[in-house]
Amino acid sequence: MTTQPEKSTGFAATDVLVSEFDGGPDTVQRAISTPEEIQPHTELGLKDDEYDRIRQILGRRPTAAELAMYSIMWSEHCSYKSSKVHLRQFGEKAPQNTRMLAGIGENAGVVQISEDLAVTFKVESHNHPSFVEPYQGAATGVGGIVRDILAMGARPIAVMDPLRFGAADHPDTARVLPGVVAGIGGYGNCLGLPNIGGEIVFDPTYQGNPLVNALSIGVLPVSRLQHKEAAGVGNVVVLLGARTGRDGIGGVSVLASATFDEEAEQRRPSVQVGDPFMEKLLIESCLELYDAGLVAGIQDLGGAGLTCALTETAAAAGTGMRVWLERVPLREASMSPTEILASESQERMLLIVTPENLGQVLAVAEKWGVWATAIGEVTPAEADGSPGRLVISWNDHVVVDVPPGSLADDGPVYARPIREPADLILLQADKAETLPRPSTGDELRETVLRMAASPNLCDKTWVTEQYDRYVLGNTVLAQPEDSGVLRIDEQTGLGVALSVDGNGRFARLDPYEGAKLALAEAYRNVAVTGAEPVAVTDCLNFGSPEDPAVMWQFAEAVRGLADGCQQLGTPVTGGNVSFYNQTGAAAIHPTPVVGVLGVFDDVSRRIPMGFVPPSAPGPAPASGAAADGDQLFLLGETATELSGSEWAWVTHGHLGGRPPKVDLVREQRLGALMARASQAGHVTAAHDLSDGGLAQALVESCLRYEVGARIALPDDGTTSFVYLFSESAGRAVVAVPRGHDKAFVALAAEYGVPCTPIGVTSREPVLEVRDEFSIPLPELREAWSSTLPRLFGGVAEIAGRHGDPEHAANPDGPGFSAPSGVPDAGGSTVDRGDAALAAAAAGGAMETAAPVEVSLSEALGISSAGAASAEDSVSGARSVELEISESAAEPEDEAGDEATSDDEAISGNEAISGDEAAPGGPIEPAE
């Protein structure tokens, strides 16, 4: 055997796998003739018994390329080998739901929202790559989840990003967070997708293992739903999109399916490198192909790359496939067959098309300036009726000959040992309810300010201003609202609401209840906007499955989530499991992140979280408004539930006890009440109570539009402290216009929801709690808004961290715009609303794309007339200009009540303050 060393890819055992044997690749024929050759299966993450099983399946040793393929597809990330036995509960306990068009097992769940329209949504993780290389790890996480949505036949219309980092003041958080945020903003902004929500959580448990989860949602006509099956013998296999390089090789088998330890630095593969401009072209070309009926099957290439796409499409149809690997367009001509199959280069899709449509497919690809290459064909099943085989050759050498189902469907399944963590009993016995509490008004005042300034509760504008929240013109509510709300149909007002939530501390104390609490919070966040929650996606982030304590936490969380979804009638449509989130023996807190989708028949009746300004003096206020403000009601019951709370953590650094009890029947009642109240126009603002309790909800609702509140807490034996800082579930604070209060109270009684009056909104900019304290809103805002800029610096610092020294020295120079509210180099504050962050988002490697507006017809996938020619598509930065929606392009100020200012009266749901849009009108950024 002679070896010719190749360029290092970071893939385990690369030197062996990419070597040539006697002047050629490791072929199937050579594997047959050299059965005893030692292979580096353990370095690829395969156990000895797994390797033996591969030999049994093939009847010989695998070739180097086959060994790499099995190591990828049998990895934890791809095969779900440790989680499958538990995830079955989502199917076994799934509630009956007529809206579901596609669910678990597909690229993303698809939910029908009208007779003609459906939405598809999914959340996934990109945790390990984002720690290794924050910018590209996060950016390609966004790109990957967007392609999952695209593969279902949908136009992606928005993204969300639940993020978790180590301690806010830790030096490594200062390295990771700015890069992650810039990567998410850089990729999403260049795609022209609004970022409408998410989470940012800091906790030492995530030190060295940040959680970067990404969610995307898309819209499609029901008739355009796509599938991945490689059906139709003789159909052509087409690779569409970017050329294939060495980036990301081994990502799912080595990086995402193992813990970080001292040796990890020696074997971390390179992280994928994203190109959002190519992804934008890929999206438009795929949508045009869908509308023309030219696609018989489609699968995106993300984790596991070509290996996953080829095996899954063939296995889904029970067919075989013949692939000529030398036809794959490469960025580096020296790549070996193993590298090509294992590469996770981004912005690629695998298409199955009929031979007669191949010419049209290639023409559409040429028009959009993307590579399209016929690399294979679909072959029939075996003569005995068994599924066909996947045969891959490289320059006339057969390097792969496997049954595709053995990789995609028949990987190992483990019922791993489970054991309750040894410290759990003592942890639960250490209750936060016994900790010293503030008792005087001054102590309560100081606690409110301290909590508002804490990293988990403070203003996240430093992050969210780096994202474009309003591009496409259909964002109705966005960060920092409880849910992101999108208008889907401009004629009817049909829309959706989305929220993602999780609480690792609650899950650490009780993973069963913690998962149900995450579900309940996401459900409640959607419900308080007035939407009907209908479906769930999840991203389950845990430590090593080889640790019995971690597997116990996982099993309990899955059980809790499955039980909760069954009770709420919201099926799990799909999601992701991310194991090995730990460094050495230290696992993260179990962190199930839950996304809930809600549906509006008309988004004009959505309820924002911010208290609306009381009517100005003068003429009689419009119906539903009053000069002395709205009445405030606390919905739900408050108990002394402080264990796992933000108060316990911020003031005492304490984690112990049991999390709050969750009553899903009460959550349903609250949701039904809010939907009815929204339809009747009884509520002008609503905010769920969760982290930080009532105190934090009042802070955020007051500061949203600078509206004060005068609060009188009930005198029922419960202390002011408990009312303010308890985190009991199933609660919300609502603002009800005078004249609507009796009807609302009666409606609450009808639904069995406790409804307690607690005060009024006020024109005076003060948050006052009677007999306790008073805090001017400017003082409150200073505490709330200064934390992240103080921790992570201004824009010059951000640019410097991302390889952009020119812009770091001159942040206001060409190609760079400072985010809103961040002091520039001269000390003045730059206010640019919601425009995209340019150089910081681009990491010094991308140009800033102009905002892209898409009309309703394009959002539904109707091909845009006059699309750019192929020459135009690939020139310059390859930005794509699309037709701008008239409704989004021009304000409708002349329409009377179509647009309102903060100072105008609020009448039912006819007018919205601040950056909220009037029904059917434009969505404008906040001033």
- 501 is annotated as contributing to ligand binding: no
**CA–CA dist 682, 225 (Å, integer):** 38
Question: Order of strands, edge to edge, in the sheet holding 397-402?
Answer: 297-301, 348-353, 236-241, 371-379, 320-324, 390-394, 397-402
What are the two backbone dihedrals, phi and then psi, of residue 113, each rounded to the nearest 5 degrees?
-115, -10
538: helix, coil or strand?
strand
- 578 is annotated as contributing to ligand binding: yes
**CA–CA dist 354, 461 (Å, integer):** 49
- 346 is annotated as contributing to ligand binding: yes
- 344 is annotated as contributing to ligand binding: yes
Tokens of 151: 């593969």
The contacts of residue 884 (CB under 8 Å, 6+ apart) are: 853, 855
DSSP state, residue 412? -
- 715 is annotated as contributing to ligand binding: no
- 124 is annotated as contributing to ligand binding: yes
**CA–CA dist 674, 598 (Å, integer):** 13
- 127 is annotated as contributing to ligand binding: yes
Return the bridge partners of 216, or none.
Answer: 122, 159
Could you tell me the CA-to-CA distances from 536 to 53, 90, 152 in Å, in that order?
A: 36, 11, 17
CB distance 302 to 242 below 8 Å: no
**Cα within 13 Å of Cα(199), Cβ side:** 32
**CA–CA dist 816, 836 (Å, integer):** 10
Active site annotation includes 77: yes
- 538 is annotated as contributing to ligand binding: yes
**CA–CA dist 349, 452 (Å, integer):** 45
Which of 654-693 are b and which e, b meaning 16 or more Cβ less than 10 Å from the residue's Cβ?
bbbbbbbebbbebbbbbbbbbbbbbeebbbbbbbbbbbbb
- 345 is annotated as contributing to ligand binding: yes
The contacts of residue 720 (CB under 8 Å, 6+ apart) are: 444, 713, 769, 772
Active site annotation includes 126: yes
Give strand ranges (E) for 40-116.
100-102, 109-112
Tokens of 223: 């008739």
What are the two backbone dihedrals, phi and then psi, of residue 685, each rounded to the nearest 5 degrees?
-155, 150
Residue of 299, 322, 304 whose CA lies nearest to 401: 322
- 80 is annotated as contributing to ligand binding: yes
Cis peptide leading into 592, omega within 30 of 0? no
**CA–CA dist 326, 394 (Å, integer):** 6
- 576 is annotated as contributing to ligand binding: yes
- 430 is annotated as contributing to ligand binding: no
407: helix, coil or strand?
helix
- 646 is annotated as contributing to ligand binding: no
Tell how strand 475-477 and strand 532-541 pair up: unpaired
Set 41, 126, 397, 802: catalytic member: 126
Packing angle between helix 84-92 and helix 548-568, nearest 10 degrees?
Answer: 10
CB distance 581 to 588 below 8 Å: yes
Tokens of 508: 């650490």
Set 77, 654, 687, 802: catalytic member: 77
Q: What is the 3-state secondary structure (H, E, C) of 642-654?
A: CCCCHHHHHHHCC
The contacts of residue 36 (CB under 8 Å, 6+ apart) are: 61
What are the two backbone dihedrals, phi and then psi, of residue 391, each rounded to the nearest 5 degrees?
-115, 120
- 357 is annotated as contributing to ligand binding: no
- 148 is annotated as contributing to ligand binding: yes
Q: Cα 594 vs. chain centroid, distance in angstroms?
A: 10
What are the two backbone dihedrals, phi and then psi, of residue 742, each rounded to the nearest 5 degrees?
-65, -40
CB distance 212 to 152 below 8 Å: no
306: helix, coil or strand?
helix
Residue of 763, 769, 760, 764 whose CA lies nearest to 741: 760
Give strand ranges (E) for 488-529.
495-501
- 122 is annotated as contributing to ligand binding: yes
Residue ranges of the binding site: 80, 122, 124-128, 147-148, 272, 300, 344-346, 538, 575-576, 578
Residue numbering of the annotated binding site for Mg(2+): 124, 148, 300, 576
Active site residues: 77, 126
- Binding site listing for substrate: 125-128, 147, 272, 344-346, 578
